[in-house]
C-alpha cells in the first residue's frame, strides 16, 4: 500500500472543496481527538473554520494518535482519483445495479459520502484496486479440474483459517484476513488478498510527546499477498515470498481440491521458441487486437565458475548486427527476454519481460489476455505440467507505458 500522505486533507485548497456539513459529519466521531490538538469544535457545520482544521491536521500526531481517523483519511484520499471513483461505482453496482453517480460532484465528496454510508465497502474496494495492480506472480498449475464459483462466507472463513494455520510458524494467525474479489469481465477468475503481519521489527524512535527523548518500538509491518484463482487455466498465481507461496499452494489445494499437493512447483514458461523459430515466434497476425511484437532484450546465461550472464539490448534484436553476425543464443541458456508489444486499437505500448520457469507479472485486462494468447500460441507457455527440473529462478513482467 502507499505511504501515509493524505494530500486531500493537508492541502487547504482541496480541503475547501469539501462542503462544511460533510466535513463536520466525517470528523464528528473523532471530535475528542481533534479537541486534544486544541481544535475548537464547531457546534454547527456552518461555523467550521477550514483554516483552523487544516492547521490542526498538519500538526505532528499526538502521543496517542487516532488510528481510525488516520485510516479513514488515508483511504478517502487514495480513492479520490478517477480510477478510484470508477472502481467504487463498479462496487456499488454489484448490489445496486441501477446506481448512477452525480457527475457534478467532486471525487473526494463522492468518496467521503460513500465512506459515511459504508466504510467497509470503500476499504474493500481500495484493497481490490491493490489486487489488480501489476505484480510479479508465480504460477502453479494442476492436472486436476478446478471448480468454478465464488466462495460463500463459510467457505471463505475456512480458507482464511487454513491460511492462518499454515502461516502460524512465521506470522501471528490473528493478523490474517482474506478478502475475495471476483473479476467483472465474465470470467471465473477470483482474486484473494491475504493481509497479515510481517516479521517482527524493532526500530528506534523519537517520542511524540517528548521529542527530546529516544525510545524503541516493536511492530509488524502490514503485508498484502495476492492469490489469483484461475479455473479456466487450472492454475493459481501467487504474489508473495517464495516460502509463503508454497504455503499458499497447500492452502489452495486443501480448499479447492481437498489435496494439499495439487499445485506442484512446475515450469510454465519456456523461451525455446526464440532459438528454434527466431523471428517467426513473434508473428501475431492471427490474434485480433495485436499489431506487432518486437524482441528488444535478451538475458543469456554463459555459465562458468562465475556464472556469467550477458544482457543484449536493441530496438529490434533480431534485426541487430549482434544477432546476425554471431548466434549469441547458440548452446546457451536464455534466462530472460523482453518484448515490445503494440496493439491495433491503442497507442499504448506494453513491455513484456518473460523469464522461465514460472513467475509472471500480470495486470489482468483485455490487452493482457491477448498477450497471454500469443504466448500460448507461440509456444512460450508449456502445454502440460511436468516434473520440476533444476533451473535458475526467473520472472515475467508486464508493464504499460503511454
Residues 151-205: pLDDT tens digits? 999 999 999 999 999 999 999 999 999 988 887 666 788 989 998 998 888 888 7
Same domain (yes/no): 96, 16: yes
**Are 165 and 219 found together in one domain?**
yes
Which residue, 25, 128, 143, is CA-closest to 79?
Answer: 128
44 and 119 assigned to the same domain: yes
Task: Indicate if 119 and 238 belong to the same structural domain.
Answer: no
Is there a domain that residue 117 lies in? yes
Phi and psi dihedrals of 150, rounded to 5?
-75, 145
Query: Residue 136: what pLDDT?
Result: 78
Task: Give bridge partners of residue 361 from the DSSP assignment.
Answer: 136, 397
Q: Could you tell me if residue 143 is inside a domain?
A: yes
d(CA 200, CA 223): 12
Kindly state whether residues 242 and 347 are assigned to the same domain.
Answer: no
Could you tell me if 290 and 206 lie in one domain?
Answer: no
- What was the pLDDT predicted at 133? 65
Q: What angle do CA 14, 119, 88 make, to 5 degrees?
A: 70
Instruction: Judge if 96 and 81 occupy the same domain.
Output: yes
* Whole-number Å distance between alpha carbons of 175 and 194: 10
Residues 121 and 23 in one domain: yes
Strand segments, DSSP code E, in 188-255 are 190-206, 214-230, 235-239
- In the three-class reduction of DSSP (H, G, I as helix; E, B as strand; rest coil), residue 117 is classed as helix
Q: Look at residue 268 and tell me if it is in a domain.
A: no
Residue 265 forms part of a structural domain: no
Note whether 65 and 170 are same-domain residues.
Answer: no
247-285: string of b/e by CB count within 10 Å (b at 16+)?
bbbbbbbbbbbeeeebbeebbbbbbebbbeeeeebbebe
pLDDT at position 395, please?
A: 43
241: buried, middle or exposed (CB in 10 Å: 19+, 13-18, 0-12)?
A: middle
- Domain stop point among 196, 224, 257: 257
92 and 207 share a domain?
A: no
Q: Which three three-digit cell numbers place residue 204?
A: 528506534
Any domain includes 314? yes
pLDDT at 384: 62
Residue that the C-alpha cell 463522492 belongs to = 110
Instruction: Look up the domain containing 174 and give its range.
Output: 136-257
* pLDDT < 50: residue spans in the chain: 1-4, 385-402
Examine the fold and report which residue of 231, 257, 283 is the final residue of a domain before the chain moves on. 257
Q: With respect to residue 263, please indicate whether it lies within any of the assigned structural domains.
A: no
Candidates 337, 349, 339, 284; CA nearest to 311 is: 337
98: cell is 441501477
DSSP label at 150?
-
Are 138 and 242 a contacting pair, CB within 8 Å? yes
> Of the candidates 95, 100, 135, which has an alpha carbon nearest to the alpha carbon of residue 118?
95
Q: Is the residue at 188 inside a domain?
A: yes
- Do residues 333 and 230 both lie within one domain? no
In a domain, 152, yes or no: yes
Number of domains in the chain: 3
**Tell me, what's the pLDDT at 2?**
46
pLDDT value for 60: 60
Question: What is the C-alpha separation between 105 and 101, in angstroms, rounded?
Answer: 8
**Of the candidates 85, 104, 131, which is a domain's last residue?**
131
Both 361 and 244 in one domain: the answer is no
Amino acid at each position: 500500500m502507499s505511504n501515509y500522505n493524505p494530500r486531500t486533507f493537508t492541502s487547504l485548497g482541496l480541503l475547501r472543496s469539501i462542503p462544511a456539513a460533510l466535513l463536520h459529519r466525517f470528523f464528528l466521531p473523532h471530535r475528542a481527538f481533534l479537541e486534544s490538538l486544541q481544535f475548537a469544535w464547531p457546534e454547527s457545520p456552518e461555523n467550521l473554520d477550514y483554516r483552523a482544521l487544516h492547521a490542526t491536521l498538519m500538526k505532528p500526531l499526538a502521543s496517542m494518535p487516532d488510528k481510525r481517523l488516520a485510516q479513514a483519511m488515508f483511504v478517502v484520499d487514495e480513492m479520490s482519483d478517477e480510477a478510484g471513483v470508477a472502481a467504487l461505482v463498479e462496487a456499488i453496482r454489484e448490489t445496486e445495479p441501477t446506481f448512477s453517480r452525480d457527475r457534478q460532484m467532486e471525487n473526494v465528496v463522492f468518496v467521503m459520502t460513500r465512506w459515511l454510508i459504508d466504510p467497509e465497502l470503500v476499504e474493500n474496494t481500495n484493497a481490490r484496486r491493490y489486487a489488480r495492480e501489476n505484480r510479479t506472480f508465480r504460477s502453479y498449475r494442476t492436472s486436476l479440474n478446478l471448480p468454478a464459483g465464488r466462495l460463500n462466507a463459510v467457505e471463505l472463513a475456512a480458507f482464511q483459517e487454513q491460511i492462518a494455520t499454515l502461516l502460524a510458524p512465521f506470522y501471528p494467525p490473528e493478523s490474517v484476513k482474506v478478502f475475495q474479489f471476483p473479476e467483472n469481465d465474465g470470467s471465473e477468475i477470483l482474486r484473494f488478498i491475504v493481509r497479515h503481519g510481517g516479521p517482527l521489527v524493532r526500530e528506534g524512535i523519537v517520542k511524540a510527546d517528548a521529542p527530546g527523548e529516544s525510545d524503541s518500538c516493536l511492530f509488524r509491518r502490514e503485508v498484502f499477498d495476492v492469490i489469483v484463482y484461475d479455473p479456466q487455466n487450472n492454475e493459481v498465481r501467487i504474489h508473495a515470498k517464495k516460502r509463503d507461496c508454497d504455503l499458499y499452494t497447500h492452502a489452495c489445494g486443501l480448499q479447492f481440491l481437498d489435496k494439499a499437493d495439487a499445485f506442484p512447483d512446475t515450469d510454465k514458461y519456456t523461451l525455446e521458441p526464440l532459438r528454434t523459430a527466431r523471428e517467426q515466434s513473434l508473428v501475431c497476425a492471427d490474434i485480433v487486437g495485436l499489431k506487432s511484437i518486437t524482441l528488444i532484450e535478451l538475458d543469456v546465461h554463459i555459465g562458468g565458475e562465475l556464472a556469467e550472464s550477458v544482457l543484449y539490448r536493441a530496438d529490434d534484436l533480431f534485426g541487430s548486427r549482434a544477432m546476425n553476425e554471431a548466434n549469441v543464443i547458440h548452446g546457451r541458456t536464455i534466462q530472460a527476454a523482453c518484448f515490445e508489444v503494440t496493439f491495433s486499437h491503442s497507442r499504448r505500448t506494453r513491455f513484456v519481460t518473460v523469464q522461465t520457469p514460472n513467475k509472471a507479472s500480470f495486470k489482468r485486462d483485455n490487452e493482457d489476455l491477448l498477450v497471454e494468447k500469443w504466448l500460448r500460441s507461440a509456444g512460450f507457455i508449456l502445454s502440460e505440467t511436468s516434473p520440476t527440473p533444476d533451473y535458475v529462478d526467473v520472472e515475467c513482467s508486464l508493464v504499460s507505458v503511454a
